[in-house]
Structure formats: C-alpha cells, structure tokens
Amino acid sequence: MEVSLNKWFRCDVDKREFKKLCKKSDYQGWKHMIIYFSCLFTFGYLAFITWGTWWALLWFWLYGTIWGCSDALWHETGHRTAFKSKFLNDFFYYISGFMDNFEPVRWRHTHFHHHSYTIFNDPVDYEIAIKKPSDLLLFFSIFVPFGALLYPHRSLYWETIKHAFGVTTEVMEKCIPENERSKCRWSARSHVFIWVATAVASIYFQSWLPLLYIVLPNLYGKTLMALFGLTQHTGLQEDIKDHRYSTRTVYLNPVFSFLYWQMEYHIEHHMFPTVPSYNLPKLHQLIKNQLPPASKGLWGAYSEIIPAVFKQAKDPDYKIELSVPN
C-alpha cells in the first residue's frame, strides 16, 4: 500500500538533504512515547487519587486531552515513520488506534486514500470532517465535549459497531480491498469487545472510573486535537493537485507542537509523507520560500477558518485565497 502522488506539485529540495530528512529514529520515537505516556499516566493517577473531589474534574480533563492527542501517535505510526523498527511502529499503531477510536485496518486504507486524493470529491476524501456546504452546527460541535452525541450517525463508535456486525459501509466498499474486509471486521469486534467489557466492569464495580479511563476520553477530551486537526484543510481549495492550495501549515508553541507531533507542518507532510514528523521543521526551513505564509498559531489559523466556514455554508464555491509563490 503506497501513497499515490503522481502529477502532484512538489517543491524543489536538495536530494542529499532530503535523503537525510527521511531517516527514521527509534530514539526519537521512544522519546516521544515515554514523555506522552508519562503525562497520560500521571494525570490518570492524579484523577484517581482525587476522585470524589472537584480536583478530579481538572485531572480528568487533562487526562482526556492527552488521550485525545493519541491521534498524533496513530498518525505517525500509521505512516511507519515514528520508529525505524516496523514492529514498534505497528505495535504503537494498534494501541493508539484503539485510543483514538480509529479501527486500524479501516484507517490505514482511508488515510493512504486521503493522501492520494486530498480534499477531492471524486474519489471522495473520507477524512475531511467539514464538507461543503458547511454544516455550522457540526463544525462547532466538534470542539465541545460530548458534542459528537449530536451526530450519532456520524460517530466512529457507530461505524465500528456496524463493521463488527458485518455491515459493509460506504467507506469499506470504496477504500478497503475485499481481501482486507474480514480483517477490518475482526479488528472492529476487538474494539467493541473492550468497550463492552469496560461497561460491564463499570456496572460490576458500580463506578464510572473504567468508562472515564477507557471509553469516554474520546467524547470529553478531543477539543484540543480537534483544534489542531481542523487547521489542516478547512476552508481551502478542493480538487487540486497542489498541497499549497489545499493544505495549511501553522506555527505552534513547543507544547502544542509536541502533542501534535509536529503535524502542524502539514503542507510539508503531504508533499513528502516519507519524512518523519520530527524532521518536518527542518524540511520547512528548506522549502518555506516556495510555500504560502504559515498561519501564526491557532488564533491566526482560525481567524481565517471561521469566516470561511460561514461563507461556505452559503456559497460552497468559496475558498480562501492564498498567496502562493510562482
């Protein structure tokens, strides 16, 4: 399975420098994982020892936010660029896939499809959350804890349950080869089994804790990750084989950059998906004079995204005009 970037525009970059940037590192992968899971377990422990007090709300909010950022782990290991080791990439891919509620078989295929047809309508890019004309309620609900419950039919929980019961969904039919669909269904069943077992444990122990730790973080802790993720393509041009028009790079502070695992350099990632995320800042420096100006922080990105979403709700043909070097 490979990303198809045939006939896509790519910036000029020195071949020797590019070869260096494509080198993977187990050290970089382990460093990120150790810091990430240390933060997750620390906030989880603080939530446990303060359970029954108002402090638990703070610690569970932080725990859920860190858990929600498992999306970045899923993404980097899915590209097999987090580690040099294929085994380590796949091991953490399946763990973070469960955490992120991204069933691994389905999402490996649809993510490679996303790279091959970024914001295309034919074939459909299934990873674009806000399609035109914009659904304003959907857009704002994404940032609200438990907002996903407003659109249960769009929920990844519901899709996984359907796959677990053998339903062939549209995304399965369009993106997953027939010989992989059985694997997808069994993987979905493993997710559903863990959810059911967690719910049974909560009932048995008469406690919300199992659900708060394992099943519900994706409902109450996704706000920050959603803020990161919707900067990638929202409001930009569709159906064009030039990521400078369809994708956005954003400058983030060091903490946010760590949690997002440098995916804020998103034009660079789409142009050169074999470059590990920890090398994207270096790649950006090499090609930034060939790119539109990067947005300055989340505030800078959403100052153009929010007006664009409102305009696209009325005019689906509207797109943000970018200053792209010739």
pTM metric for this prediction: 0.93
pLDDT tens digits, 175-231: 999 999 999 999 999 999 999 999 999 999 999 999 999 999 999 999 999 999 999
Query: What tokens appear for 193 in the block?
Result: 């089994």
Q: Which residues lie across from 249 on neighbouring strands?
A: 265
pLDDT tens digits, 293-318: 999 999 999 999 999 999 999 999 99
Residue whose entry in the numeric block shows the structure tokens 């760590």: 258
pLDDT tens digits, 221-268: 999 999 999 999 999 999 999 999 999 999 999 999 999 999 999 999
Separation CA 82–CA 91 (nearest Å): 11
Average pLDDT, the chain: 94
Contacts of 255 (CB under 8 A, 6+ apart): none
Q: What is the DSSP string of 159-172?
A: HHHHHHTT---HHH
Q: What is the DSSP string of 211-242?
A: HHHHTTHHHHS-HHHHHHHTTTTTTS--S-S-
DSSP-based three-state secondary structure for 114: helix
Mean pLDDT of 130-138: 89
Query: What tokens appear for 171 in the block?
Result: 């995304």
Contacts of 199 (CB under 8 A, 6+ apart): 210, 211, 215
CB 187 within 8 A of CB 103: yes
- Lowest mean pLDDT segment, chosen from 111-120, 261-270, 273-282: 111-120
Question: For 79, which DSSP code?
Answer: T
Half-sphere exposure of 205 (CA within 13 A, CB side): 10
Q: Give the residue extent of every domain in the chain.
A: 222-315
Torsion of CA 220, 225, 231, 237, to 10 degrees: -80
